[in-house]
């Protein structure tokens, strides 16, 4: 079993930047593709970004394209989400997820992934 732990959330003001990290436990299966999602109160879970392990291909949701950047350090089993120009509507619980096999973009966007973290709260207010 793989455990994913998100860190880096917090309270920021509109226009600020924040960088989230998600670290996978070093024991267990290899985590291939990884992604970030968020869940805002009263809304469905939303795909934000994903990155493949093999080639580092990246995919983004329309609402964050151009503002958020996903990256990965496979040596540390960690994926990052750099969030810029944050808006109040970005307030949500941010979730990290991963798959045990390389996955096509459509599967990553759908959220049908094997492992999920508990999430970290991001609040944009001020």
Residue 90: pLDDT band with limits 50, 70, 90: very high
pLDDT one-digit tens code per residue, 44-87: 999 999 999 888 999 999 999 999 999 999 888 999 999 999 99
Residue 27 CA to residue 105 CA, distance in Å, equals 26
- With a cut of 80, say whether residue 15 has pLDDT above it: yes
10 Å CB burial of residue 51 (0-12, 13-18, 19+) is buried
pLDDT at position 22 is 97
Query: Alpha helices of the chain — where are they, by DSSP H?
Result: 105-110
């Amino acid at each position: 079993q793989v455990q994913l732990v998100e860190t880096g959330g917090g309270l920021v003001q509109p226009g600020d930047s924040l960088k989230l990290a998600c670290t996978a436990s070093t024991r267990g299966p290899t985590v291939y593709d990884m992604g970030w999602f968020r869940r805002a109160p009263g809304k469905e879970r939303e795909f934000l970004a994903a990155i493949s392990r093999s080639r580092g291909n990246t995919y983004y949701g329309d609402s964050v394209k151009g503002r958020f950047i996903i990256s990965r350090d496979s040596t540390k089993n960690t994926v990052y989400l750099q969030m810029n120009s944050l808006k109040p509507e970005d307030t949500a619980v941010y979730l990290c997820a991963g798959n045990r096999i390389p996955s096509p973009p459509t599967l990553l966007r759908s959220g049908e992934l094997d492992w999920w973290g508990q999430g970290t709260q991001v609040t944009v207010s001020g």
